């Protein structure tokens, strides 16, 4: 016959899974609200109503709106890395690199648009966390491997530092100027992504190709 302690221990993984599922649902709702309203306009009351939970329950998972936004960004970066790892292996290194750059640009643009005028402050909060630094390094290492593979195929200028080439696309959208271009109707998200990706990739190509472009 099982004891109370044994039953309690067996229930713990179930409670942990339920808590994780609830947090994922809250992050899903927060991601949608951030894209609809932006960080400044979204409130914890909005999120509690959208997720059909009490504010007390919401604050049990996320102590502040800033912490919530940090978790949304961290999850987005994690999913970006997972997507990059699943990129089609039979494509050329440069094609894989382009696919990854476009994915990163779209995700960073979505985060910047959601953050709005609070982008700089949120960047300070998020990028200062150890979790973000670890994910950022993992992302850069993946891109650096792709750059090196493209160099080996003669698709990228071998004289340029791989780490620099990997980090440039990740660092392009760091303020509100690009998102404002979309909001002002200067270009669409697709057009902006195409333009930035083209500029980044063209600068990586071997010198003779750049000179004849």
Which residues have CB under 8 Å from 134's CB, separation 6+? none
So what's the pLDDT on residue 5? 53
Structure tokens at 194: 């195409």
Mean per-residue pLDDT over the chain, rounded: 83
Q: Looking at the predicted structure, is the pLDDT value of residue 2 above 70?
A: no
Query: What does each C-alpha distance from 87 to 39, 56, 95, 104, 146 come to in angstroms?
Result: 31, 40, 10, 13, 11
Task: Say which CATH superfamily domain 65-212 falls into.
Answer: Tetracycline Repressor, domain 2 (1.10.357.10)
Q: Where in the chain is the domain with CATH 1.10.357.10?
A: 65-212
Asked if residues 117 and 40 have their Cβ atoms less than 8 Å apart, the reply is yes
So what's the pLDDT on residue 119? 67
So what's the pLDDT on residue 134? 93
For residues 177 and 182, give the distance between their C-alpha atoms in angstroms, rounded to a whole number. Answer: 9
Per-residue pLDDT tens over the stretch 69-117: 889 889 988 988 898 888 777 788 889 888 888 888 888 888 877 777 6
Per-residue pLDDT tens over the stretch 158-179: 999 999 999 887 777 666 677 7
Q: Where in the chain is the domain with CATH 1.10.10.60?
A: 1-63
For residues 39 and 64, give the distance between their C-alpha atoms in angstroms, rounded to a whole number. Answer: 12
- Comparing CA positions, the residue from 111, 116, 145 lying closest to residue 41 is 116
Q: Looking at the predicted structure, is the pLDDT value of residue 207 above 90?
A: no
Least-confidence region, from 3-12, 53-62, 100-109, 161-170: 3-12
Q: Residue ranges of the alpha helices (H) in 62-183? A: 65-85, 93-115, 119-127, 130-152, 162-171, 177-183
1-63: CATH topology is: Arc Repressor Mutant, subunit A (1.10.10)
């Amino acid at each position: 016959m099982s004891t109370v302690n044994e039953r309690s221990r067996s229930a713990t993984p179930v409670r942990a899974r339920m808590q994780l599922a609830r947090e994922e649902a809250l992050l899903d709702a927060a991601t949608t609200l951030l894209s609809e309203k932006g960080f400044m306009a979204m409130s914890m009351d909005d999120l509690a109503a959208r997720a059909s939970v009490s504010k007390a329950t919401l604050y049990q998972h996320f102590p502040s709106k800033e912490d919530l936004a940090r978790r949304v960004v961290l999850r987005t970066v994690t999913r970006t890395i997972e997507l990059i790892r699943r990129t089609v292996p039979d494509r050329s290194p440069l094609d894989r690199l382009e696919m990854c750059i476009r994915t990163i640009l779209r995700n960073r643009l979505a985060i910047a648009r959601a953050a709005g005028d609070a982008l700089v402050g949120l960047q300070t909060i998020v990028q200062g966390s150890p979790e973000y630094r670890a994910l950022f390094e993992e992302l850069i290492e993946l891109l650096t491997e792709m750059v090196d593979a493209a160099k080996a195929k003669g698709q990228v200028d071998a004289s340029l530092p791989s780490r620099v080439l990997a980090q440039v696309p990740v660092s392009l959208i760091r303020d509100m100027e690009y998102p404002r271009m979309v909001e002002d109707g200067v270009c669409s998200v697709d057009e902006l992504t195409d333009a930035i990706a083209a500029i980044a990739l063209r600068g990586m190509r071997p010198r003779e190709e750049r000179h004849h472009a």
